Amino acid sequence: GDSVTQMEGPVTLSEEAFLTINCTYTATGYPSLFWYVQYPGEGLQLLLKATKADDKGSNKGFEATYRKETTSFHLEKGSVQVSDSAVYFCALSDPTNTGNQFYFGTGTSLTVIP
């Protein structure tokens, strides 16, 4: 079945450091891939997405590239800010599933210190 595995946290970085959060997936079809972000006390919101192989999603300085050959969708940011402190979830949507389509990783907590 479909699944998402992402890097365990928590991750603590200094401001302006480089961020990578690893995400790999297993899917029977050709999924769309997502990164969601959850700020303290809030619901999840879409950060970026990619719908086919080699697509790069980007938003707010974050990037992730859909790599079919390595079944990965790693999240990167060149210079993190304190305001990036949040929990990040990798997810996939597999349209070949007639029922539930969405699968989430367990989340990675990021804390950025000044």
Residues contributing to the site for other proteins (CB under 8 A): 32, 34, 36, 42-46, 49, 51, 89, 91, 93, 95, 99-102, 104-107
Nearer to other proteins, 9 or 71 (CB): 9
**Shortest reach from residue 93's CB to other proteins, in Å:** 3
Nearest C-alpha neighbor of 7 from the set 106, 112, 111: 106
- Counting every residue written for the chain, the total comes to 114
**Shortest reach from residue 7's CB to other proteins, in Å:** 13
Nearer to other proteins, 18 or 39 (CB): 39
Nearer to other proteins, 46 or 53 (CB): 46
C-alpha to C-alpha distance for 96 and 8, rounded to whole angstroms:
28
Nearer to other proteins, 8 or 16 (CB): 8
C-alpha to C-alpha distance for 46 and 90, rounded to whole angstroms:
10
Q: State which amino acid sits at residue 111.
A: T
**Shortest reach from residue 70's CB to other proteins, in Å:** 21
**Shortest reach from residue 106's CB to other proteins, in Å:** 4
On whether the CB atoms of residues 6 and 91 are closer than 8 A, the answer is no
C-alpha to C-alpha distance for 87 and 79, rounded to whole angstroms:
17
